[in-house]
Amino acid sequence: MEGLGVDRFWRERSVFVTGCTGLLGSWLVEELLARGARVVGLVRDGVPRSRLVSTGLERQIVTVTGCVEDIALLQRVLNEYEVDTVFHLAAQTIVGVANRDPLATFEANIRGTWNLLEACRRTGTAGRIVVASSDKAYGDQAVLPYDEETALQGEHPYDVSKSCADLISRTYYVSYGLPVCITRCGNFYGGGDLNFNRLVPETIRSVLRGEPVAIRSDGSYIRDYFYVRDGALAYLHLAQQMDRSEVLGEAFNFSNELQLSVLEMVRRILTLMERDDLEVIILDQARNEIVHQYLSAHKARTLLGWSARYSLEAALSETIDWYRRYFARHDPSTLTLAPP
């Protein structure tokens, strides 16, 4: 059984997770703890309603308060906790925030990445380092889907920050032999995402409140939506494969390879929630965003033997159930719309 092998691999392994209070971070921490890992998490801001806190996961790990812009702190953590595996997830991830404040985004996403990698190089304890890039690192391309040979050519602030961090990660492998791999995933969604300017949680919240669903773009933008639980399992799977020389230094796309427009995704959610009657309002206000993007996961499937475990319907159903429970606790106006 695969799970038993995974458990043996992670048992008592010291793992450092930056960005552990984020959507992917909380699910990754949960998977690591279930497998017996000793987790150290970097926390910049206290987020009382984050999934890491609300589920009690925070009490089961060592939390270090600080940010990836502080290289001395990163070196201390790596040394004191004798970190074997690093998952670098910390980043400013919201496109709108990046557009409003590009310098802070560059500091967190670019400087933060080279600080983390340089700290790993100086301490020399980490045997595997997984750096989270993004499908946005590819920029706007005429040929889709993106594969790992597609040029990195971000143009807008968030996209550029990911292109740069991605290239910096590669150079630390090529120039210094640092054991790095890079992940490029699409738009994560799933229970625990409290950034309600993102499509999936905002759509579900609107439905639970019986309100019209507003779409910032014109609805035609194509995105690669990736369930966060599949994402967490993909990260663990990749890290396990990093004892293989042909894997080290490589970038991998992870995707269920299902392309949907924004409007199609909204319609899927409305159908699953049995609220096709709700109005969908097209605001057409999106700026500085790539119009069409989706990924090929052929390399991950063939070289790593990876595949997604959740169908879109199963993933969305789990996600909707999570938000029903969440809003029943935190937003009494949704109670009358909860299922019997």
Supply the pLDDT for residue 7: 64
CA torsion 283→289→292→295, rounded to 10°? -130
- Percentage of residues in the chain having pLDDT higher than 70: 95
pLDDT at 286 over 80: no
333 falls in which pLDDT band (50, 70, 90)?
A: low
pLDDT at 220 over 50: yes
For residue 105, the tally of other CB atoms under 10 A from its CB is 23
Supply the pLDDT for residue 301: 98
Mean pLDDT of the chain: 93
- Please answer whether residues 337 and 275 qualify as being in contact, where contact means their C-beta atoms are separated by less than 8 angstroms: no
Average pLDDT estimate for 230-242 = 98
Range with the poorest average pLDDT among 50-54, 148-152, 232-236: 50-54
pLDDT at 291 over 90: no
- Please answer whether residues 26 and 94 qualify as being in contact, where contact means their C-beta atoms are separated by less than 8 angstroms: no
Could you tell me which residue, 340 or 158, shows the higher pLDDT? 158
Supply the pLDDT for residue 332: 55
Domains with residue ranges and CATH for the chain:
2-188+225-254 (3.40.50.720)
Residues 6+ apart with CB under 8 A from 35: 6, 7, 9, 10, 11, 236
- pLDDT digits over 56-94, tens only? 999 999 999 999 999 999 999 999 999 999 999 999 988
Supply the pLDDT for residue 2: 44
336 falls in which pLDDT band (50, 70, 90)?
A: very low
Supply the pLDDT for residue 334: 57
Supply the pLDDT for residue 46: 80
Dihedral sign, CA of 195, 257, 142, 106? positive
Supply the pLDDT for residue 289: 76
Supply the pLDDT for residue 216: 87
CA torsion 320→324→327→331, rounded to 10°? 120
Give catalytic residues, as residue numbers: 158
- pLDDT digits over 186-202, tens only? 999 999 999 898 999 99
Owner of token pair 């995105």: 223
> Is beta strand 213-215 parallel, antiparallel or unpaired with respect to 187-189?
unpaired
pLDDT at 6 over 90: no
50 falls in which pLDDT band (50, 70, 90)?
A: confident
Average pLDDT estimate for 231-236 = 98
Supply the pLDDT for residue 319: 98
